[in-house]
Every structure is written in structure tokens, then in C-alpha cells.
Amino acid sequence: MSDQDLVIRDLHVAPTAKPDHEILKGIDLTVRQGEVHAIMGPNGSGKTTLAYALMGHPAYIVKSGQVLWHGQDLLKLSADKRARLGMFLAFQYPMAIPGLSVASLLRSAINARRAGLESDPNVDHTDAFKGGIPMGEFRKLVREKMALLKMDESIAARYVNEGFSGGEKKRLEMLQMAVLEPEMAILDETDSGLDIDALRIVAEGVNAMLNPNMGVLVITHYQRLLNYITPDAVHVLAAGRIILSGGKDLALRLEAEGYAPILAAAGLETEVGDEAPETADATAGAAASPAAVGSASSGATR
């Protein structure tokens, strides 16, 4: 086991508002450095809860279990420190921040990340002369990453997510990820609202950034994202537990069969599981992509 592996052991998580009501009932998962793991599951199975618990969202409390990252007990660190240790969460629904430009957001995020865990009193990462990223280097980095993500440079001057289309919001999430160069990226892409263009933006962004130092946890209700991002492992989350793990074939099996047979085999009720993973938001836009046409039509036949 390396320090660069994310190791989750018997993780139990409840909402802070209802601490006796566990959503995650014992998650065990190891994402090794450079691996891409997908977590799939029916709506309400706890996928977003897992993403938020890993990032330290205050709405969730960890009842028991352990998460190791960089040799540290991740759960003891603030959300801010987790980010400084190279964890990144792409939000399902990014917020608008009127008055804050994209450029300022990126610059403070980079400086915070560079400051690392222990701040050196002689270095002030908010100041370009005392260790913050110099303006020239910042511009070069952002230009390079925008080109990678095929983004228009004019976005840098706009306020964060204000008046952004769904696709632009997703691209900005990917841009943040690109400039921060995380070592563990958690992408929560569940539920509705992601049209095929947004899916492809996410997928192309991730694929362009994949490298042997970055682990990725792709959290998704829909198999079709995995038409674009090839996972090393796929895990099915249901009723707060991982009930089945496998290779990328498992995602294809879910696409064909839906969740019901797997839930039934695990002895779980199938009231949420008999929907096909693909049907809920197969949009007209799906016709734009040959791969998506296959997914959308197999969902529609159910």
C-alpha cells in the first residue's frame, strides 16, 4: 500500500441532522494511485453522501471507520486541508458566486493548494512576490488548461458560474481540476440534469488529465459516462454498502439489465432498482453521439 492510495475502511456515515440514521453502513474501498474507479448505484443509495463525507461536508458525520490518504487520517482534517492534500471534488450542481471572477477563483485555489498543509511563515501564498503563483506563470497555466478543455479565454473575466450554461459550469469544474492537478479527483455526476454534451465535457476533461499520479472516483447513476471514461474497477453501491465489485464489464451488465437482478441477488428490495440506469434522462441530444445512441436505445427498450 502506498501513501498515494485512498483507503476507505468500514465507513459509516449519517446526516448531521439525523445522526442515528446511517446512510453509509460500512464502505470498504481502495483506490490505488492512478486508478479510475466508478461507483454506480440507484438513486438514494448514498453516492453523494460518500463524496461529501470524503470531502468533509458539514452536513454529514462519520460515525465510524477510517479513511487514509497521504498517510494521514483524512477524517481528522478540515475540508480545506483535504483540498490542500490533493483531493478534489467536482460538484454536481456548482454554485454561482457573483462578484468573484473566474481568474480570482483559480488564482486563490492554486495558491491555497501550493501552500500545502503546513504553512511556512516566510512564504505568503496570497502574494506573488512571497511565494504565490506569479502572474505570468498563472496566465500561462490557465491558457494551457483552457486550450486542453477547448474553453474560450473570455471566461476568465466573468463571475463564477453567473449566467453560465450547464455545459459552461461543467467546463469550469474541469478547469479548476486541471489547474489544481489533484491526486484524487471525485466526480459526482449522479442523477438528472447532465445532457450528453455536459457528459462529454466531463469525460474529455478527465481523459485529458488522466496521469499515473491521479486517482479518480467517478460517481454515477448512468452507465453512459463510462462509455467515455474507462474505469479500472466498478462498484455497485446500494442501501449504503458496496454489494458488488467488478471490472468495466460490470457497467455494461448494469446497462443491459438495470440494477434489479444485482439488488435481488444481494437480497435487497428492488423498489428503486428496477429502473434501467439509462432511461431517466436519455435526451434528444443523445443522438449527437454514436456511443450514446446505443445506450439510450438499450435503455428505452426496457
Ligand X SMILES: Nc1ncnc2c1ncn2[C@@H]1O[C@H](COP(=O)(O)OP(=O)(O)O)[C@@H](O)[C@H]1O
Cα-based distances in Å from 166 to 83, 92, 163, 170, 197: 24, 10, 9, 6, 9
Least Å from the CB of residue 275 to Mg ion? 15
- Name which of residues 41 to 100 contact ligand X (CB under 6 A): 41, 43-49, 59
Return the range that interacts with ligand X (CB under 6 A); candidates 37-45, 161-169, 194-202, 205-213: 37-45
- Decide if residue 277 touches ligand X (CB under 6 A): no
Q: How far is the CB of 250 from ligand X (least distance, A)?
A: 17
| Interface residues toward Mg ion, by CB under 5 A | 47-48, 190
Q: Which is nearer to ligand X, 134 or 193 (CB)?
A: 193
Cβ of residue 141: shortest distance to ligand X, in angstroms? 33
Q: Quick one: 70 or 169, whose CB is closer to Mg ion?
A: 169
23 binds, among Mg ion, ligand X, none (CB under 5 to 8 A by kind): ligand X
Residues 159-218 that bind ligand X (CB under 6 A): 190
Nearest CA among 178, 180, 55 for reference residue 110: 180
209 Cβ neighbours under 8 A, 6+ residues apart: 148, 174, 177, 178, 181, 185
Check if the beta carbon of residue 10 is closer than 8 Å to that of residue 65: yes
By CB under 6 A, the count of residues binding ligand X is 14
Of 190 and 227, the one with the shorter C-beta distance to ligand X is 190
Q: Of residues 6, 8, 23, 234, which one binds ligand X by CB under 6 A? A: 23
Closer CB to ligand X, residue 49 or residue 223? 49
Contacts of 278-285 with CB under 8 Å at 24 or more apart are 278/222, 278/223, 278/224, 280/192, 280/221, 280/222, 281/192, 281/193, 281/194, 281/195, 281/222, 283/195, 283/196, 285/195, 285/196, 285/197
Binding piece for ligand X, criterion CB under 6 A, among 40-48, 80-88, 228-236, 246-254? 40-48
149 neighbors 175 (Cβ within 8 angstroms):
yes
Q: Among candidates 144, 154, 151, 6, which has minimal Cα distance to 69?
A: 6
At position 175, the amino acid (one-letter code) is: L
Would you say 47 or 224 has its CB closer to ligand X? 47
User: Residues in the site for ligand X, rule: CB under 6 A?
Assistant: 15, 17-18, 23, 41, 43-49, 59, 190
